[in-house]
Every structure is written in C-alpha cells, then in structure tokens.
Structure 1
Amino acid sequence: MPSSTLFQLHHQEALRTSKRLNRYFWFGAMISGLFYAVISFWLIQTIFGSNHWLVDLTNPKIWLPSAAFTTTVLITLLYGYYEARRRYSERSAIEHLAALGGELVRAVINPRDRQLINVVEEMAIAAGVLPPTTMVLRRDLSINALVMGGANNSIALAVSQGALNYLTRDELQALVAHEIGHIVNEDIAIYSKLSAMLYGYYLLSEFRHRKDEHVHTAPEKFWHLGDIRGVSNVSIVISELIGFSGIIMMLYGRFMQAKFAREREWMADARSVQFTRHSEALVMTLKKALALKIHNGQLIHPARAQQHFLFLLYHEAPSLFATHPPLEERISRYGTVAKKEELEAIVFKMRQQMSKSDTDKPQIQHKALFTASIIYPLLIAQEQESQPLTPLDTPTTEHREAAILSFFIYHSTQTLFELRFNNIIDQHREAHCARYLKHLSEVHPLAQLPLFTHYLHDSSPEEHRAIHALRQQIKLLIQLDHEFSFFEWCYYLILRNFLSSSSEQTLDYRAVQVHIEQVLALCASLSSENEAKQNAYYLELCTQCLPLSPQPYTAPLTTPQSRINSSKAVLMLRQLKPIYRQQLRYSLNTFWENQERLTLPALYLRYTLNQCLQ
C-alpha cells in the first residue's frame, strides 16, 4: 500500500496512544507522591538514627513529617495545575501569540501575507472548520508554525516569516494543514491542559526561577542544586533546596510532555496528508527544514514553553525528552530521507531565493548569473537538465534559425539594431530574434544549453542545410563583436558537433594525446582559481582518464583564437574508438561528481563535453 494512503492507519494508531496519555497526569502524581513519601521517610528515619522501619511506621514523629511533606508536594502540583488553567484562559489566542512575537497579517500591502490568508482559508474549508485568526512570526526566519487557543474559545494560527520566504504554495498548504490538523484533533484544548499539567509538575523545580509566564517549563540547568555556599540569605537557600527537590516531578513532566507531543505531531502529519492529498509537499517542507537545521547555525531556539506547540523543533534533545519525532523519521514515513547532496541543493535554492528581490525581473536576475561568482551544487544542474523543456513554439525553418542565432546574440555585446545596421541580419530576422531573445532571457542559465540542444536535434534533415548556412552569420557576429565568450564557445562547439558528419571512430587515444591533454587542462582550469590546485586536478584527470604521460600543465588562454583551437581539440575526440571515448566521458563525469559544487562555466563545459563525447 502506498505510504501516502496510510495516513488513516497512522492517525488511528496515534489516537489510541494519545488517549492513554490523558491518564499519565494522575498516574505521575501518584508515583511522584510515592517517591517523595519514601524519600522523606528515609531521610527522617536517618535523622532520628533508627534502623527498624517496621516500628517507625507506627511512630508519629517519623511518618507525620513524611506525610506532611508528600501532601504539600501533591497540593503544590494540583495548585499549579488549576492556577495555570485559570491564567491561560485569561488571555485570548491573539495575545498568547503576540507575546511570542506574532503580528497580524498585512494582506493589503504584503503579497506573501495575502497568499497565507488564502491558504489558511482553503485548508480550513478542506477540514470543515472555521478559519483561525492568522498571524506571522516576523523575527523567526526558520520554517515553523504553531496554533494556540485562549479565552472565549479563540484560536489563532501563526506562521514564521521563514516559511513564507522559503516554501512554495503547495508546501505552505502542507504546513498550514498540519496546524489545522491540530485544531481538528482538538489539540488546542488538550495542549492548554498539558501546559497546565506541566506547570504543576515544574512548579517546585522552577521555584528559584519563577517568572510571570502564562505557560511554564523547566529551566535548562535543572541538574544542579545551585551554588549556595557562602549565601547568607536564608530564603535563597530554601528556594534552592525546594527547587532541587522538584527534580523528580520535573523529569516525569518532561517525559510526559515529550511523549504526548510526539504522538500529536504524528496525528497532525497524517491530517496534513489527508487535507492536501499531497504527501510530497509535506515531505519537501520537512526536507527544507532539515536542510536549514544542518546548514544554518543561527536558527532560533525557542523556550521550552513553546516546544510542544511548534511544527518543528530545530535543536537536538535526548530522545526520551524530545517533544517532536526526528525529522528523518517524519520524512521517511511519507517519502525518502534526503541525502547530503539533496540537502545542499535545497539550501542553495533557498539562499538564492532570499538573495533575489521581489522587484527584480527574471531577465535581470538570469543575466546577472553569468557574471556572478556562484558555486552550484551539481544536483542543481542535473535537476535543471532533467526539467521539461519550454521552447517558444514549434518553429518553422526560419524561426529555428532565429532561435539558434538568438543564443549567440544573447551573449554578445551587440544589439539587434547594430547587427541589422552591419547587414548581418535583415529586418525580418530581427523581428524573429527579438521574440526568441525575450523568451531566452526568462530561461535559467542552466536550462539554456538543453534548450539550445533541443532546437538543434528537433530539426528536420531539410533544416540541417539552413542551420549549416547559419554558421556564416555566427562567424560575422563574432568578428563584429571582437569577443568570443566562453558561453558562446560552448554553443558554437555543440553546433559544430551537431553539423559535423559522422567520421570513422577508429583512432587510438595516443594519436590524439595532445588534444586530450588540452581538454583536460581546460577542465582543470575551471575547477579552481588556485594554480596549484589546477595542476593537481590536471594530473588527477590525466591519471584517471587514460594511461597518459602528460606534458606539464599550462593554463589555457582565453583569446578567441585559443577557444577556436580548443574546439578543434574537442571535435578530434569524436574520432576516438568508442571504448576510449566512453572511458574519457566516464572519468570526466566522475571527476565532476567528486567536485560536488561547480561554477557556471564548469557546468557549461560539463554539458558540452557530454554532448560531444556521446
């Protein structure tokens, strides 16, 4: 049975477990009372110096103080519980979230806030509940959300600013559906009750750290008694002793909080899949959160008071006290656990997304990428290459020529007007090129080479002659431009490879060793800016590709003529015997995979050589 259809089974399983947890409060109170009775009885017995505990049970001096202490502890627990319930009900849900930094959405001026409101309304309709008041945690740049209740049955849902920044609409739906699932599962009332229970359990351990908070939790440093040496204030000493005495109940409260919250999270995940019918969106939301957790060290660590309310918890906790299931387990329930390479690609995408301005046009963003010093994860390039192509139309021969020419014009310094003024193109072709240039500017740089290859291989045999004649216009363009950029060279090489007639593939690699070394030197030069590393990469490639005795490494020149010579070297490799050509291609791909992160020119070279060595 597919994992995306198992949500009902998961929901029922978690529901049965959650019902048992409602009895944990009273069970814990009974067990804690028994512990305190035994410990206090033993301490008092030790003070009186008696070793006959059966006789001491009838001695009021022994059991009365023990009973009084145990009763006081239990009364404190119950007082804390009912006092917290009272205080929790005094504030509205909006006030609770405002205390955590939440702000009401600004749908009129903020398009992301407007999208959030639409998503909340959609998921509320899918769940059959009224839409809760929607808020945003502006200072939280992680992927997170929570829903809280308050006075007069008020309910409010808050989403972090990071979730609005990083998530797609489908992923935002999965996140909101998870929180709506908490509402449907009646977790709002249950969580407020749980928080009150925890306040009762934590009250003694927090005696020395009392704060006026509406939801309480144990302090971080609960294992030590505190330094009371040399303290003359008796009240401080007493508060430290009382705080230390609450460790037993605090530990049980931590365990109950973690166990209960984990099961409710499983149930809410199941509800998210139920309401969206899109488990992949939930999985990708969790993967993005996991990527942030691993690669971002500046995430907000919320106070324990908020932990069981949140969609995700980023900092680690011992499994016994963890309020959320591990992200890897939540991902594997509905999908496959992300590998290191995938997480790096996800982080790269999110950082690129944050570096863009909402006002920047895609044309400007894409053009800037050709000169930016960006290192791309290899997986990003592979994803772009596997994306469905989006050609402008099904071109005629004339349109196809204009489409191919537009790739060279895009990377040149010449305008269409200058090309027509210099009689390289006519007015009719200028109009066609303008359409394709506009479309090309909206295509990501990593998807432009596959699109160029598509225009070539989608042509008919009759169109090959027209494309062959187009080479003359491309040469005139390069001469007029006085430049031959690396990206133009890649397009030119793929075009030459496409138009070249099939030659006999019979050459031994030793016959073209100079050309092989020239290509390997180019690969090494694009893998690092450090000349020593370039030399090491060059020697590594020469060793792994074929049994060569290479000449010393020389950095390739970047003049137009040197690039033309490089194209001849690459085209000579097409005449290698298939076994040598396949070995060369395999070794180059292995080299790039080991690099993991490549510059845009290196990715262009990788694609170009793969096309030429097929």
Structure 2
Amino acid sequence: MKRILLFLATNLAVMLILTVAWFVISSVFGLGSTMDYRGGGINYTSTLVLAAVFGFGGSLISLMMSKWMAKRSVGAQVIVQPGNEAERWLLQTVERQAKQAGIGMPEVAIYDSPEINAFATGASRNNALVAVSTGLLANMTRDEAEAVLGHEIGHVANGDMITLTLIQGVVNTFVIFFARIVGYFVDRVLLKNENGPGIGFFLATFIAEMVFGVLASIIVMWFSRQREFRADEAGARFAGRQKMIAALERLKLNYETPAQLPSQMTAFGISGHGSTLGRLFMSHPPLDERIAALRAGTGSGQAVTSTFG
C-alpha cells in the first residue's frame, strides 16, 4: 500500500509540474492552442511542444528522482558506515569496480527481499546508487555477488539510465503527439464535432495512446535487452567471465518465480521478466541466451572496452 501511495503521489506531483511548465512555455513563446476546431485545425507546432513537455518532462523528472524513489519504494538502506564484514566487502568491491570503470563512487545500499536481485539507478554516472537484496547476499557466493556488482556498475558506466530516459522521452513524445492527431481526426472529421474537443476526442486519444504506447514499449524493451548483454560483459570484465556465468546460472537455478522490483527499476535489475505477452515485451533476454553470449564472448565486448578503456 505504501508503494502504491508513493507512486500515485509522485505521479500527481509530476503532472502538476508539467502542466505549469506547459502553460509557461506556451505563454512565453506564444504557441497558442494545440487545436482550433473552427479555424485552422491542428496547430502541429504547439501540439509537438506539448507532447515533448509531457513526454520528455516526465522521463527526466523520474530520472532526477530515481535514487530517492528507489530508496523509499524498496526500503533500501544506504551503507554509510559498514556494520559488519559483508557490508565492508560490498563497499570495497563497488569502490574498486567504480575506479576500474572511471566513474564516481555510487551509494551502496541493501534492501530486504528474499529474491536474488540487484539494481542500479541514478541521474548520472557520478551520482548513482547500487542496491542489492538480502536474498542475493544470503544465496550467492562472493564470486557470484562480485559479478552481479560488476554488472550493475556496467549499467552506470555505460550511461544506461540516461540513455533509456532519452529513448523513453522520444517515444513518449511521439505517442502523445500522434494520439492527439488521431483524437482530433475522429472527433472533428469523423464525428463532425465543431464545438471543440468532445468525448470523441478524449476517448479516441486515450485508445490511441494505449495502442501507440504498446508499440513504443517494444522499442524500449528491445533497447533494454541489448543493454543487458553489455552489462554482462562489464561484469565479466570487472569480476571475471566465469564468475559472471556462475552468477547467471545461480539466477537460473533460483528463478522459479520472476524477481519483483518496482517498474521504474526493473530494467536495471540483474534479473527480470517482461510481460507474459511474449519476448517483445521482455526487459531482459532469457538467461540461457545471456549465458551463451558470455561463453561465446559475443556480447557487446567491443562497446564495453571502448567505454571503459
């Protein structure tokens, strides 16, 4: 319940901020109404700017708030002063890998969950958070956990959080833009409504956003799957290829049920499933494919080398 209330409150605050931003931008640049049923029809420039404000704005605000949201949604406790040997090992391992990757030291946190998982988030390569579950610490060997940490450091060093935010912003912008065009066409052209946006506009726009949103998610999930191969290669680079393979095999053995993370962190977990609708909507490639890519050395090693080298 706490997670749901936090999600709703955060999204309401974001919508209020973006609405104010839209009115300010519209007024300053004199963009005018997005559509005029009695005059010029659709104002494409104004509609595109509106779509960009809400499409990019929501993604960027979520990125800026990602560490704060992560800590509260999963109850992650940042290690300030290590209280035991395991916490000291975590900090030392992340510090060493961060230096290898050429990034600032991330915050390191532990959250209470029986599932084997970890995730990374943050607004930049030098302002990140790496969190591991208590289930991972209890069920993985140090070698396997080291590889998982390397995988998450790889996400940070590759700038995956920023890149995924930009991609999400682009697809959100076009979803909103084209959905409003469909809504106008249905309401004004097909239903012959001449009195401004009516129920036909709002209903058609809503349905179009759902349809376009599904298609857009295919693009985002495709990119998410490619990042996993690169992050696996990073884990192999920082901890050793056999350790990374062993970590994925451990996940496979303990993967009777999908690991659960809040939606905004799922793409950056070490393990995860997409929708049951099929492979197109999976945030992570199947573990067998990830293991096979590591064994064959056919991940994205060249990209990782150029990023870290």
Name the TM-score class by shorter chain: 0.5 to 0.7
Counterparts of 1:403-442 in structure 2 under 5 Å?
none
Which whole-Å CA distance do the structure 1 matches of 2:238 and 2:176 have between them? 39
Alpha-carbon offset, residue 316 of structure 1: 5.3
Aligned to 1:381: none
Aligned to 2:243: 281
Aligned to 1:302: 261
Bigger RCO (CA 8 Å, 6+ sep):
2
Does the aligned pair in 2 maintain the 1:191–1:309 contact within 8 Å? Answer: no
Aligned to 1:108: 82
- Aligned with 1:293: secondary structure? coil
Structure richer in strand, relative to its length: 2
Alpha-carbon offset, residue 206 of structure 1: 12
Does the aligned pair in 2 maintain the 1:84–1:199 contact within 8 Å? Answer: no
TM-score (norm 2): 0.66
Which whole-Å CA distance do the structure 1 matches of 2:215 and 2:48 have between them? 14
The code of the aligned residue for 1:305 comes to Q
Distance 1:198 1:168, change over 3 A: farther
- Which structure 2 segments of 5+ residues have no match? 1-36, 181-196, 297-309
Which whole-Å CA distance do the structure 1 matches of 2:209 and 2:142 have between them? 46
Alpha-carbon offset, residue 252 of structure 1: 2.9
The code of the aligned residue for 2:116 comes to I
Larger radius of gyration: 1
The question of 1:121 aligning with 2:95 is answered yes
Aligned to 1:311: 270
Does the aligned pair in 2 maintain the 1:205–1:247 contact within 8 Å? Answer: no
1:109-141, Cα deviation, whole Å (9 max, x unpaired):
343322211221222233233321111222x32
The code of the aligned residue for 1:250 comes to G
- Aligned with 2:254: secondary structure? helix
The code of the aligned residue for 2:123 comes to G
Aligned to 1:80: 54
Identical aligned residues as a percent: 21
Aligned to 2:282: 322
Does the aligned pair in 2 maintain the 1:171–1:282 contact within 8 Å? Answer: yes
Distance 1:106 1:161, change over 3 A: farther
Alpha-carbon offset, residue 205 of structure 1: 11
Work out which of the residue numbers 157, 168, 173 in structure 1 matches 2:141.
168
Counterparts of 1:533-544 in structure 2 under 5 Å?
none
Work out which of the residue numbers 120, 131, 147 in structure 2 matches 1:158.
131
Does the aligned pair in 2 maintain the 1:201–1:250 contact within 8 Å? Answer: no
TM-score (norm 1): 0.35
Which whole-Å CA distance do the structure 2 matches of 1:109 and 1:290 have between them? 31
The code of the aligned residue for 2:52 comes to L
- Which structure 1 segments of 5+ residues have no match? 1-60, 208-233, 337-614
Does the aligned pair in 2 maintain the 1:265–1:325 contact within 8 Å? Answer: yes
Work out which of the residue numbers 242, 249, 261 in structure 1 matches 2:205.
242
Does the aligned pair in 2 maintain the 1:142–1:289 contact within 8 Å? Answer: no
1:3-31, Cα deviation, whole Å (9 max, x unpaired):
xxxxxxxxxxxxxxxxxxxxxxxxxxxxx
- Aligned with 1:155: secondary structure? strand
Does the aligned pair in 1 maintain the 2:124–2:162 contact within 8 Å? Answer: no
- RMSD between aligned residues: 3.6
Which whole-Å CA distance do the structure 2 matches of 1:133 and 1:89 have between them? 16
Aligned to 1:333: 293
Question: How many residue pairs end up in the alignment?
Answer: 243
- Aligned with 1:311: secondary structure? coil
Which whole-Å CA distance do the structure 2 matches of 1:158 and 1:236 have between them? 46
Aligned to 1:388: none
Which whole-Å CA distance do the structure 1 matches of 2:146 and 2:124 have between them? 27
The question of 1:267 aligning with 2:230 is answered yes
Which whole-Å CA distance do the structure 1 matches of 2:260 and 2:199 have between them? 29
Alpha-carbon offset, residue 170 of structure 1: 0.9
1:409-453, Cα deviation, whole Å (9 max, x unpaired):
xxxxxxxxxxxxxxxxxxxxxxxxxxxxxxxxxxxxxxxxxxxxx
